[in-house]
Amino acid sequence: MTGDHLPPTDAELSVDVETGTGALRLDLTRRLAAEALGTAFLIIAVVGSGIMASRLSPSDVGIQLLENAAATAGALVGLILMFGAVSGAHFNPIVTLTDRLLGTITNRDTALYVAAQVVGGCAGTVVANLMFELPAVEWSTKDRSSAALWLSEVVATVGLLLVIQGCVRTGRSAAVPFAVGAWIGGAYWFTSSTSFANPAVTIARTLSDTFAGIAPSSAPMYIVMQLIGAGIAFGLIRLFYPHPHPHSLLPDQETPR
């Protein structure tokens, strides 16, 4: 954690929550397991709470959204606290790719983190479906395709990345779990897309034909918009949090613990 030091060094960023690979500096296998399991739990929260909400409040979509948003926000807080020191608690390819662009994670770790997140997310959807006695995999038929939805994904992604980097790069790493949970919970309501802002989550949600699902045909443009949002956020992070990057500051991330 960066404490009161402003700004944090690159070495600190490379092991901090959401900007690096975890303060425990564990070996890659342990970190990948944490990313996969954390993303799975996140999807279980998203899909599972959506199914429960549609059953508890079948005639009130507003209440369904409130229940889904609250469960997702709460799960995010818990998961980032759980795995922040283990793997950095990214659970999101956009977070990982942005960290790579900012130089706080290696190419190898980036590729493997993204793979673990996607696999974990898909496994989480299967578990959520089975918990509610639905088919393990059921392709979603919920079309989510419009310019308004695509713009919403850009907005949600930019905001998420600025929340993360803004907290960590100003010495407030301890606030990240709560800030991320608050942003996503709020963005459920102020974006028309309900704030996916995560390619792994988007892919995983194609596997459930329920409240939280998204049709496979709608997913690619969501992911494109999320990547565009990441590009915009990268520029804004450089603008608002300028920080020199000395040479060779990544710590040895392969020391087993």
Q: What is the pLDDT of residue 1?
A: 46
* pLDDT tens digits for range 71-113: 999 999 999 999 999 999 999 999 999 999 999 999 999 999 9
Mean pLDDT for 228-252 is 78
Domain membership of residue 5 (yes or no) is no
* 256 lies in some domain: no
Whether 203 has a pLDDT exceeding 80, the answer reads yes
Q: Give the confidence band of 190 by pLDDT, cuts at 50, 70, 90.
A: very high
Check whether 252 has a pLDDT greater than 90: no
**2 falls within a domain:** no
Domain contains 247 = no
Q: Is residue 20 in a domain?
A: yes
DSSP state of 10: H
Average pLDDT (147-170) is 97
Q: Tell me, yes or no, whether 146 lies in a domain.
A: yes
Which domain range does residue 27 map to? 10-240
Q: Is the pLDDT of residue 62 over 60?
A: yes
CATH code of the domain in which 32 resides: 1.20.1080.10
> What is the tally of structural domains in the chain?
1
Q: What Cα–Cα distance (Å) separates residue 145 from each residue in 12, 134, 158, 192, 223?
A: 40, 25, 20, 11, 12
CA distance 37 to 116: 9
With b for 16 or more beta-carbon neighbours within 10 A and e for fewer, the 185-217 pattern comes to: bebbeebebbbbbbbbbbbbbbbbbbbbbbbee
As a whole number, the mean pLDDT across the chain is 93
Q: How large is the average pLDDT for residues 216-221?
A: 98
Note the pLDDT of residue 7: 80
Strands (E), 31-86: none
pLDDT at 5: 53
**118-141 residue pLDDT tens:** 999 999 999 999 999 999 999 999
* pLDDT reading at 248 higher than 60: no
Mean pLDDT over 149-160 rounds to 98
